[in-house]
Copies of this chain bind each other. A is one copy, B any other.
Amino acid sequence: MRIALLVYDGMTALDAVGPYDSLSRLPEADIVTASPDGGPATCGGGIVIQAAAALADVDAADVLIVPGGMASALRAMLGDGAVMDWLRRIDQTSRYTCSVCTGALLLASAGVLRNRTAATHWRAHDALTALGATPATDRVHVDGKYLTSGGVTAGIDMGLALCGLLVGRELGEAIELSMHYAPQPPFGTGDPATALTPARRKLIEERLRN
């Protein structure tokens, strides 16, 4: 089972490594990290993931995973015809096409989410609508073969759900246990439906890396 994981400059590292962790525990998985030119991806905040391949070297995959990233990085990717062509090409024969966070904007821009419903980061709902898809508010959203997930950490939930689809519930349960995924968020403010206040939005937009 071949899994293609897109990596690129300005990507959010956790968007990629979140689903990577569960999928890489599968005995059957062959995961290839692919960047536009095969070079290293300098992620948001500066951490560097070295790709194993260039997009041109990956012709097909059973599973495609598209992480999100910073606004400037997304603009660069949306404007790169070779990247958009690659997403369409891999999607054509994939068994599952998946995104984390604003990775849904890349899939939508490539045209593969047209008339579909998709999850994305809560700040990107308008941008997703403008690209022809309907934002979903669930954390992991399944529409046909498209598994999309909300902001950053939602990719962990998506990866585990995907493991369940790929190899069955029994192994999925064991992977969740091996990852000790029994989260206790320290602040309880992770859900925009209950925690998004004007003050917090201002803090996020003005003081934090986005």
Contact = CB atoms under 8 A, between A and B. Distances in A.
Interface of A: 12-14, 17-18, 20-21, 24-27, 29, 31, 33, 40, 44-50, 52, 101, 121-122, 139-140, 150-154, 156-157, 160-161, 164, 169-192, 195-196, 200, 203-204, 207-210
5 contacts: A26-B208, A152-B179, A174-B189, A180-B190, A182-B185
A17 B13 contact: yes
Q: Which 4 A-B pairs have the closest CB atoms?
A: A151-B180, A24-B45, A182-B190, A181-B190
A8 to B, nearest CB: 15
B173 A181 contact: no
A187 B20 CA distance: 18
Contact of A210 (B14, B152, B178, B188): B178
A153 B25 CA distance: 14
B50 A50 contact: yes
A40 B41 CA distance: 13
